Amino acid sequence: MNLSELTLDRKGLTAALACEDAAFEEALCQEAYRVKVATVGPEVYLRGLIEISNICVKDCLYCGIRRDIRCQRYELSEEEVLATARIAARRRYGSVVIQGGERADAAFIGKVTRLLKAIKSIDTGEDPPLGITLSLGEQPREVYEEWFDAGAHRYLLRIESSNPDLYYKIHPQDHSYDRRLKALCDLKEIGYQAGTGAMIGLPFQTAEDLADDLLFYKEFDAPMVGMGPYNPHPETPLTLSGAPYPSARRRFSLGLKMIALLRLLMPDINIAAATALEILDPRGREEGILSGANVIMPNITPREQMVKYNLYDRKTLNASDVQDLASRDIPIGYGRWGDSKH
Ligand code: 5AD
């Protein structure tokens, strides 16, 4: 396939994703990088990722911290979260992402509210207060409102797959695609910058499904998207079922192409180079940036707990180095929120 033949409709996106020609992939990623620089600028924005707890009430069939898996659970104390957020402020990351397993208990909800207020009052010197993104799953609208009022202004909730049939193949039956969609709409209505995304290279997933994921982001008019390759965790039902999925190389290549195609489809949004890319290639996130992404989430969770936040097999996890970017002359938006221009 030739880049000049690419169209950004379902048929064209599907063909681009199905095409395994390396020269096409390189041309596509280069073009997306060019569009990124021309539209949102060359800067990469940072969000310090704080994984506050791996306790989860959901039982997603692909996830290594699902409710029914046996693993060591942890929850950071308020002081630990604050100390970690202060590291982000000191390093001038500009904003943080508070991510964790989904919880519905009042104690947790109240704790997050207190944390939001406390993080907002961290002294950042000359910079604005830290921006805060939450990634804590589906919550009642009132909880989203409480957290918004306490200072969160962005929320990440992946749709995981925009195809309801595939969604139900990778989630237990008590999950609801419609409820998830409703949660995304609630977030948007409340005033959050609502980010979404999906996994790439799942069992049962077709090139059409991936094209539909891209069209879903466009239709939802998402100001930010974080998507990344599926990485099998050895003890999840999805892995143990033996259902085939694309090779690591193919999932990596699909991950980059999804970023590049999304940049062409939605030139002015924020696109994160997901951590899951780094699992497949030590330079994965840098490659993501060079394919059109403009956000990186360096993981600043205290090491001892980080290793327990095992969504997938993270044995190759390396300390999210921002240095690689500097050595490539990619400017970093230090001390800024880096909100979506969309
Ligand atoms: N591979 C890749 N991504 C995963 N996630 C959960 N499990 C996996 C996996 N095995 C992603 C989900 C979730 C995010 C926090 O992590 O998309 O939204």
- The Å distance, Cα 286 to ligand 1 centre, comes to 20
Fold of 42-327: TIM Barrel (3.20.20)
Residues 37 and 50: their CA atoms lie apart, in Å, by 28
Helix residue spans in 191-342 (DSSP H): 207-220, 237-240, 248-265, 275-280, 284-290, 303-306, 323-327
Cα–chain-centroid distance for residue 266? 17
Q: Where are the beta strands (DSSP E) in the chain?
A: 45-53, 95-100, 131-135, 154-156, 193-196, 199-200, 224-229, 270-273, 295-296
Domain map (residue ranges) of the chain: 42-327
Q: How far is the CA of 31 from the centre of ligand 1 (A)?
A: 28
Residue 263 CA to ligand 1 center (angstroms) comes to 22
**What is the average pLDDT across 323-328?**
73
Q: What is the pLDDT of residues 80-136, one digit of tens each?
A: 999 999 999 999 999 999 999 999 999 999 999 999 999 999 999 988 999 999 999
Specify the DSSP class assigned to residue 249: H
pLDDT tens readout for residues 176-210? 999 999 999 999 999 999 999 999 999 999 999 99
Task: Tell me, in angstroms, the distance from the centre of ligand 1 to residue 63's CA.
Answer: 6
**Distance from residue 230's CA to the centre of ligand 1 (Å):** 7
The pLDDT > 70 percentage for the chain reads: 97
> To test ligand 1's pocket by mutation, which of 312, 313, 317 has the most ligand atoms within 8 angstroms of CB?
312
**Of 191 and 275, more confident:** 191
At 328 the pLDDT is 78
Q: What is the pLDDT of residues 41-85, one digit of tens each?
A: 999 999 999 999 999 999 999 999 999 999 999 999 999 999 999
215-270, pLDDT tens digit by residue? 999 999 999 999 999 999 999 999 999 999 999 999 999 999 999 999 999 999 99
CA 79/CA 110 separation, integer angstroms: 15
If you take atom 13 of ligand 1, which residue's CA is the nearest one? 158
In short, whether 217's Cβ falls inside 6 Å of ligand 1 is no
Q: Is 58 in the pocket of ligand 1 (CB under 6 A)?
A: no
Residue with tokens 């030739």: 2
